[in-house]
Amino acid sequence: MKFRPFSPEILAILAIVVINFSVSYYLNANTIIDERTYAVQSYHFYTDHRLPEIYPLLSILTIVPLILFGVEKLAFLTVPFAATLLTVLLTYHLSMRQFGSKTRGLLASVLVACNPLIVWLSAKHMTENLFALFLVLTFLALVGKEVTSRQAFLAGTFSSLAYLCRYPGLLLFPMMTIWLIQKKTKLRVLIAYLSPLVFVAVYWTMNWMVFGRSLTTESYSFGTLLAKAEAIRLNFSLPLLVNMVYKVTSAFGLVFGYAIIFLLSGMRGIKRTNPIVIFAVAYIVVHLGYYSILSMSWSFAWSIDHVARYLAPISPLALSLSNSTLRFRRYGYPLLLFSCFVGLAMGFYLTYYSNLHSQVPINWEDFLKSLR
């Protein structure tokens, strides 16, 4: 993977990320439930090297800022911020590698920098932005005219790390294996991609030895389905289904609405065999299925931000396909500025709203005191 020198445009876009993080850092005065869960296991991995049970990579990487800054808010938010910065930068390279257009690459990266969910999660001790980074790295290694064994091994390694961020990362292996077979790649390339699954097997073995079960993250996530009752009983009432459709639609609008013109324009001419399209479709289907079962089993539609958080990690991949629309070319820059403004405004509002209305919020200072 070639990395070109930083251009003034890229530096300006990265400056936007820094500003966004600073604003979100200030607005995020309270922690949310999931964030505290990850932060607690990060703290225990730092203090007594206890193996993280849920989405381990975030906690493992957080040990570095904890060593540098101590048990402070900034230490817990450094990894999500760094992941956001790198994702914006690498989205530019992913777009460039696919289309060879600097303008198109800059468009994709600035849209990612202004994505509402990416802005919000850049200053939360959450796994989504880190997961997005490894998804981008995986496809950055795979896209191109030919895939070498080295690139395939890198892609497999990044796929394994993506799985350690969020369990749906495991979807990469069957989806990309199918794509590589369709691409008629050599057997050694396919083996090179699948070989890092050994790391996943080692991780599962460690979980079994420490916790008594291999799929600790999956047990945590799917345990939510059974948290209300011992068995899943699905509610198919019309009001519930209508509410679910409303919240799913709203979530798509929250994640992609501000950039829809550029995204739809970029999708023209994209082949259905594009690996990003293949993975994105599978990822969306799996998560909408999970959301539907979760909501129907609890008899209420889970919040818009739940669905939006499911979609957030694939937004950089999707936005890497963006293009300026031909019909509005004369108004391209004003339209882009407006889209970025809308995206940032939505991101800051989401940050502010979640800070006040999230379930069981706890102030960062009080939370850190409870850790110490």
Domains in the chain: boundaries:
8-371
Nearest to 34 by CA among 60, 66, 59, 6: 59
Minimum mean pLDDT among 58-62, 142-146, 180-184: which range? 142-146
Complete DSSP assignment for 281-320:
HHHHHHHHHHHHHHHHHHTSPPPHHHHHHHHGGGHHHHHT
pLDDT greater than 90 at residue 259: yes
At 369, the pLDDT band (50, 70, 90 cuts) reads: very high
Position 62 confidence tier, pLDDT thresholds 50, 70, 90: very high
Higher pLDDT, 180 or 330: 180
Distance CA 218, CA 116 (A): 27
176, 167 contact by CB (below 8 A): no
pLDDT in tens, 126-150: 999 999 999 999 999 998 778 999 9
Residue 213 has pLDDT above 50, yes or no: yes
Neighbours of 283 (CB within 10 A): 21
Read out DSSP for 254-290? HHHGGGHHHHHHHHTT--TT-HHHHHHHHHHHHHHHH
Phi, psi of 269 (to 5 degrees): 85, -5
Once rounded to an integer, what is the mean pLDDT over residues 343-367? 89
Output 232 or 278, whichever has higher pLDDT: 278
Cβ-contact 168, 208 below 8 angstroms: no
Mean pLDDT of the 108-134 span: 97
Please report how the helices 332-357 and 102-113 are oriented relative to each other, as an axis angle in degrees rounded to 10: 20
Residue 227 CA to residue 220 CA, distance in Å, equals 10
